[in-house]
């Protein structure tokens, strides 16, 4: 039992962490928390199933297409729901505009795809035993690839440095001549790809289901809230801990009470530390 | 009953009396008339739709105060509809307790809903926007799951029968009448709150939170009161909803409904009652008139939300507000009036001086204030000057409670101010203005000023809801003294203008008027002359002098040396958080270091 809690906990935890990183990647260049993060995860599963099962493409091609579509949705998010409201960031219109876009994505998927969960293809197979099945290790592997990849990007490449500069101080970055808008669009494309990959890697666990979005939105947000906005390491640790806690609670007290337990814990921790456990203090007000 | 401006503030000359009231009430009476005419159409189906709209509005009328007025993004309000529906149904069915009569069950649902409303809303006291929106969404999910799992009581996925209303409300027509009466009552109550100090305080918390604290509005108490009301009416709407459905399962409480409620408020327009009412009606009818669209209703709602956010952030209310572009008098000047000020100050409280002793405050390695002593005496103007970054505004913020010094004492007479919350400064009659005016741009000038007198109000939210005598006395007294304050600073005639349309210099005087509403013992002014013309600075000087002569202690943080030397009784010069010099203006003027470091020449 312990082994299966660990396996499924780490697997869903990795998916939550990836959605958390999707939030963070969008937040870093725009200061916007977007409701489309969870929908990207949902799309990853649906598109993966569409390309590989329904259209019969080989899975590597399906994966590439899924990530490309995710990136496209990310860019659309930036153009439709983020750019127009950035000027009035303090009015928090972005909460409403991204929510609206997320709901539109969800509804189009429900009508165009299916309102029932659809199967997701098997890709590689497992290592024999059930807990080492691909549906458990794929999300973890995807999460590792993304985390390592982002670290390399941010540390080793010029464009990564530019991302960091914009995230650190938008105005100063623009004053230095960095193309802030282009960087923002690119970060949304990157986030879209990561979100879609999260859904794709977790496809066998979550299935290709149009209503996965809100669920992923919420559970992907928890690691971000606890780890502090924009903190990818916090999201990684938070996501894995959340996944393990949730699966353990699932096994011990059952599904509904596990949800209630996660929610209660989340609220209590957040009320105690609104900046997150690893976040930084509030800005000055007067 | 007082009818407030039904829409977001409309400009124009001050109009009072029966005519205005009727004009304000007309759109509501028109809607009520149309609603009463629905059954005459002879189509039961339309009566059903109208009943649904009335029930939804009962919920939205409360949510309007939370979302539209207080600006809290509570998206998951379907949770309260569910709680109310199940509480009423379970109590009326008598599965756990002896069966309740339908109305008693409905009343119990109201109480439960009020409590749950506070629980759902509580995170708003610490969390902002996206975070709060997420918690309400999470709450909506959890409540649905509990309803599914708690089979013994709720019937799980199979569901439970809704309460049956007693005669004459058991017929379709009778039930419609009941819901319509409830909706009319809720409209009236929401309008009452909107026009009360509670409504103004909610909008202030949304648009100018720091200023709200400075006038003594305690956000937690305010929000909890509003969450109680919104939760109560939402749960009662839930009970009526269950009765209308005759049978409820958790599936009936979809996220679509939550969205409908939330978007109805936003389409209607923030800070309006009529707008969200129209929004609720439109959104309820929309899927009905376009049957093929029913499957796309979520998409439609979401699309409308996006359009509203991107194109029309003011919502329907903004479209209906005809007075918003009426031209203001172009050649207007600010002319403070001494007599009005004396009337206003006659009731001011005399107080012991405010004393700062050995105050130290550093931000990280920066010593913003480094051992400051200062005394602020009633009836005198104390100027605080110094270069940028010398700690002037920081000192003001220490006195008004926004910063907490690491060392030193700040006392009012024998009382330590450091032990008091920021919001408590208003009750101690310490008022302040801000370097950048913090006003509610969407409210009228007089509403902004009335905000300053919030601590003087005595009526509770319940009294305001029902427009009881104390509420009406409060409003009359606040409005009278706001008029006086506006005359004192010289902004009279602009009472009903939206504050966002004023010029920068006028906003500075508006802030002073708001501060005077406190009948302050001390007035802390943070660079009030910044951005004013020479003539306006002179009038400002006269006003400040008159304020001090009326017995109020003034702390004046300023860069205009002329103004400082013209009106101050004492001057303290700061440099790098330390006192460089202190004394009478004449002494400072000839102080060698001050002249060379700061005044020049």
User: What confidence tens digit (pLDDT) does each residue in A138-188 have?
Assistant: 999 999 999 999 999 999 999 889 988 888 888 888 888 888 889 999 999
Residues of A in contact with B402 (CB under 8 A): 285-286
pLDDT band at residue B4 using 50, 70 and 90 as cut-offs: very low
Q: Which long-range contacts (CB under 8 A, 24 or more apart) does B203-209 make?
A: B203/B69, B203/B70, B203/B71, B203/B271, B203/B440, B203/B442, B203/B443, B204/B440, B204/B451, B205/B70, B205/B71, B206/B69, B206/B70, B206/B71, B206/B270, B207/B71, B207/B440, B207/B441, B207/B442, B208/B438, B208/B439, B208/B440
Residue matched to tokens 């060698």: B592
Max CA pair span of chain A: 62
pLDDT band at residue A121 using 50, 70 and 90 as cut-offs: confident
Which among A192, A240, A186 has a CA at the least distance from the CA of A44? Answer: A192
Nearest to B402 among A225, A270, A286 (CB): A286
pLDDT tens-digit map of A239-251: 999 999 988 888 8
Q: What DSSP line would sit under A144-157, residue for residue?
A: HHHHHHHHHHHHH-
Q: Which of A20, A36, A99, A264 is the best mutation test for B, with the most CBs of B within 10 A?
A: A99
pLDDT at position B7, please?
A: 38
pLDDT at position A198, please?
A: 95
What Rg, from alpha-carbon coordinates, does chain B have? 28
B310/A97 Cβ within 8 A:
yes
Cα–Cα distance between B483 and B139 in angstroms, integer? 45
Which among B500, B512, B498, B540 has a CA at the least distance from the CA of B452? Answer: B512
Instruction: Please report, in angstroms and rounded to a whole number, the separation of the first and last CA atoms in chain A.
Output: 54
Of B524 and A88, the structure prediction assigns the larger pLDDT to B524
Cα–Cα distance between B398 and B361 in angstroms, integer? 9
Q: Which stretch of A25-34, A264-273, B78-87, B378-387 has the lowest confidence by average pLDDT?
A: A264-273
Is the domain spanning B351-429+520-601 CATH 3.40.50.300? The answer is: yes
Q: What DSSP line would sit under A112-166, residue for residue?
A: HT-SS-B-----S--SSSGGGSHHHHHHHHHHHHHHHHHHHHHHH-HHHHHHHHH
Contact B384, B373 (CB under 8 A): no
Q: Are strands B247-248 and B160-161 parallel, antiparallel or unpaired?
A: antiparallel
Q: Which residue of B has its CA nearest to A35?
A: B130
Q: Are strands B522-526 and B354-363 parallel, antiparallel or unpaired?
A: unpaired
A286/B141 Cβ within 8 A:
no
pLDDT at position B382, please?
A: 95
B296/A286 Cβ within 8 A:
no
pLDDT band at residue B2 using 50, 70 and 90 as cut-offs: very low
Residue A194 token pair: 């990561």
Q: Ranked by mean pLDDT, which of B46-60, B125-139, B163-177, B326-340 comes out on top?
A: B46-60
Residue matched to tokens 């002896």: B98
Contact B11, B326 (CB under 8 A): yes
Cα–Cα distance between B119 and B496 in angstroms, integer? 38
A96/B142 Cβ within 8 A:
no
A284 pLDDT more than 80: no
pLDDT at position B13, please?
A: 40
Could you state, in order of their start, the residue ranges of all structural domains in chain B?
45-255, 351-429+520-601, 440-518
Residue matched to tokens 């009319």: B184
Residues of B in contact with A286 (CB under 8 A): 210, 393, 397, 402, 434
Interface size between A and B, measured as CB pairs under 8 A: 109
Residues of B in contact with A260 (CB under 8 A): 142, 145-146
Return mean pLDDT, chain B.
88
Cα–Cα distance between B212 and B502 in angstroms, integer? 20
Max CA pair span of chain B: 92
In DSSP terms, which residues pair with B525 in a beta bridge? Answer: B556
A270/B126 Cβ within 8 A:
yes
Cis, peptide link before residue A197, omega less than 30° from 0: no
Contact B552, B461 (CB under 8 A): no
Contact B259, B59 (CB under 8 A): no
Residues of A in contact with B313 (CB under 8 A): 88, 91, 93
pLDDT tens-digit map of B496-528: 888 988 889 999 999 999 999 988 999 999 999
Residue B278 token pair: 């129209």
Q: What percent of chain A has pLDDT over 70?
A: 93
φ and ψ at residue B11, rounded to 5 degrees: -85, 180
Which among B272, B197, B210, B209 has a CA at the least distance from the CA of B449? Answer: B197
pTM of the entire structure? 0.89
Quick check: helix, strand or coil at residue B366? strand
A101/B73 Cβ within 8 A:
no
Cα–Cα distance between B39 and B47 in angstroms, integer? 6
Of B597 and B467, the structure prediction assigns the larger pLDDT to B467
pLDDT tens-digit map of B11-22: 334 445 677 777
Complex ipTM value: 0.88
pLDDT at position B8, please?
A: 39
- The DSSP code for B38 is G
Cα–Cα distance between B184 and B192 in angstroms, integer? 12
Could you state, in order of their start, the residue ranges of all structural domains in chain A?
2-243
Residue B86 token pair: 């199940």
Q: Which of B130, B133, B442 is the best mutation test for A, with the most CBs of A within 10 A?
A: B130
Residues B567-575, mean pLDDT to the nearest whole number: 92
Contact B358, B373 (CB under 8 A): yes
pLDDT tens-digit map of B78-117: 999 999 999 999 999 888 888 889 999 999 999 999 999 9
Q: Which of A83, A84, A87, A103 is the best mutation test for B, with the most CBs of B within 10 A?
A: A103
Residues of A in contact with B309 (CB under 8 A): 85, 93, 96-97, 100
pLDDT band at residue A193 using 50, 70 and 90 as cut-offs: very high
- Helix (H), strand (E), coil (C) string for A224-245: HHHHCCCCHHHHHHHHHHHHHH
pLDDT tens-digit map of B298-356: 888 889 889 988 888 888 888 887 666 777 777 777 888 878 877 777 766 678 899 99
Residues of B in contact with A275 (CB under 8 A): none
B256 pLDDT more than 90: no
B68 pLDDT more than 50: yes
In Å, what is the CA distance from B20 to each residue of A136, A282, B6, B468? 68, 45, 10, 21
Rounded-to-10 torsion of CA B474, B476, B478, B479 = 160
Quick check: helix, strand or coil at residue A33? coil
Residues A7-24, mean pLDDT to the nearest whole number: 94
pLDDT at position B11, please?
A: 39
pLDDT at position B550, please?
A: 87
Cα–Cα distance between B502 and B497 in angstroms, integer? 8
B228 pLDDT more than 50: yes
């Amino acid at each position: 039992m312990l082994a299966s809690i660990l396996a499924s906990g780490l697997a869903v935890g990795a998916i939550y962490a990836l959605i958390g990183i999707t939030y963070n990647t969008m937040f870093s260049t725009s200061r916007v928390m977007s409701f489309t993060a969870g929908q990207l995860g949902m799309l990853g599963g649906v598109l993966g199933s569409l390309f590989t099962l329904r259209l019969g493409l080989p899975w590597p091609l399906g994966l590439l297409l899924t990530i490309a579509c995710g990136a496209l949705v990310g860019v659309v998010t930036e153009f439709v729901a983020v750019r127009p409201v950035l000027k009035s960031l303090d009015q928090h219109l972005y909460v409403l505009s991204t929510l609206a876009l997320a709901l539109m994505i969800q509804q189009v998927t429900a009508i165009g795809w299916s309102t029932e969960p659809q199967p997701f293809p098997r890709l590689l197979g497992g290592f024999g035993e059930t807990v080492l099945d691909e549906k458990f290790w794929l999300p973890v592997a995807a999460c590792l690839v993304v985390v390592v990849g982002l670290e390399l990007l941010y540390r080793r490449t010029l464009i990564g440095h530019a991302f960091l500069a914009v995230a650190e101080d938008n105005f100063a970055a623009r004053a230095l001549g960095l193309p802030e808008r282009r960087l923002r669009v690119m970060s949304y494309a990157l986030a879209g790809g990561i979100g879609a990959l999260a859904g794709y890697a977790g496809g066998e666990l979550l299935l290709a289901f149009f209503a996965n979005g809100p669920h992923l939105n919420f559970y992907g947000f928890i690691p971000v809230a606890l780890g502090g906005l924009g903190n990818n390491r916090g999201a990684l640790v938070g996501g894995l801990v959340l996944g393990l806690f949730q699966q353990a609670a699932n096994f011990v007290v059952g599904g509904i009470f596990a949800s209630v337990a996660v929610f209660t814990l989340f609220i209590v921790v957040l009320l105690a530390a609104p900046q997150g456990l690893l976040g930084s203090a509030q800005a000055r007000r007067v | 009953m007082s009818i407030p401006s039904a829409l977001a503030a409309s400009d124009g000359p001050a109009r009072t009396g029966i005519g205005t009231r009727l004009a304000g009430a007309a759109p509501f009476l028109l809607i009520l008339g149309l609603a009463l005419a629905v059954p005459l159409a002879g189509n039961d189906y339309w009566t059903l739709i109208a009943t649904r709209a009335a029930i939804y509005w009962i919920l939205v009328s409360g949510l309007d105060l939370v979302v539209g007025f207080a600006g809290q993004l509570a998206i998951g309000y379907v949770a309260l509809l569910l709680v109310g529906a199940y509480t009423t149904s379970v109590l009326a069915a008598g599965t756990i307790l002896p069966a309740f009569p339908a109305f008693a069950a409905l009343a119990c649902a109201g109480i439960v809903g009020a409590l749950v409303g506070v629980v759902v809303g509580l995170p708003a006291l610490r969390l902002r926007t996206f975070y709060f929106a997420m918690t309400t969404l999470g709450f909506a999910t959890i409540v649905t799951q509990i309803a599914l799992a708690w089979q013994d009581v709720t019937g799980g996925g199979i569901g439970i029968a809704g309460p049956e209303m007693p005669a004459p409300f058991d017929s379709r027509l009778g039930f419609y009448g009941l819901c319509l009466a409830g909706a009319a009552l809720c409209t009236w109550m929401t309008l009452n709150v909107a026009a009360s100090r509670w409504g103004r305080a909610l909008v202030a918390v949304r648009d100018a939170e720091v200023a709200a604290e400075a006038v003594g509005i305690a956000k937690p108490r305010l929000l909890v009161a509003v969450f109680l009301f919104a939760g109560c009416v939402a749960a009662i709407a839930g009970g009526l909803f269950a009765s209308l459905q005759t049978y409820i399962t958790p599936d009936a409480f979809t996220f679509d409904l939550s969205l409908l409620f939330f978007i109805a408020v936003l389409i209607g327009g923030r800070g309006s009652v009529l707008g969200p009412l129209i929004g609720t009606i439109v959104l309820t009818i929309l899927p009905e008139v376009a049957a093929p669209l029913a499957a796309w209703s979520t998409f439609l709602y979401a699309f409308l939300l996006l359009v509203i956010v991107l194109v029309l952030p003011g919502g329907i209310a903004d479209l209906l507000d005809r007075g918003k572009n009426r031209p203001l008098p172009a050649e207007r000047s600010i002319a403070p009036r001494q007599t009005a000020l004396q009337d206003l100050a006659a009731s001011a409280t005399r107080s012991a001086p405010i004393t700062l002793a050995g105050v130290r405050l550093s931000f990280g390695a920066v010593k913003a204030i480094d051992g400051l002593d200062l005394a602020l005496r009633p009836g005198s103007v104390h100027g605080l000057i110094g270069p940028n970054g010398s700690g002037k505004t920081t000192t003001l913020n220490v006195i008004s409670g926004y910063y907490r010094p690491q060392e030193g004492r700040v006392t009012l007479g024998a009382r330590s101010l450091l032990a008091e919350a920021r919001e408590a400064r208003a009750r101690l009659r310490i008022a302040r203005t801000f370097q950048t005016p913090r006003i509610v741009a969407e409210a009228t000038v007089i509403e902004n000023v009335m905000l300053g007198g919030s601590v003087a109000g005595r009526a509770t939210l319940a009294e305001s809801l029902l427009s009881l005598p104390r509420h009406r006395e409060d409003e009359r007294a606040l409005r009278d003294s706001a008029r006086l304050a506006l005359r004192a600073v010289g902004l009279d005639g602009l009472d009903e203008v939206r504050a966002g349309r004023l010029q920068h210099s006028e906003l500075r005087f508006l802030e002073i008027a708001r501060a005077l509403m406190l009948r302050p013992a001390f007035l802390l002014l943070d660079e009030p002359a910044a951005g004013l013309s020479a003539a306006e600075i002179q009038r400002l000087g006269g006003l400040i002098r008159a304020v001090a002569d009326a017995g109020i202690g003034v702390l004046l943080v300023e860069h205009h040396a002329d103004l400082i030397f013209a009106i101050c009784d004492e001057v303290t010069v700061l440099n790098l958080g330390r006192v460089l010099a202190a004394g009478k203006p004449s002494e400072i003027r000839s102080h060698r270091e001050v002249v060379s470091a700061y005044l020049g020449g």
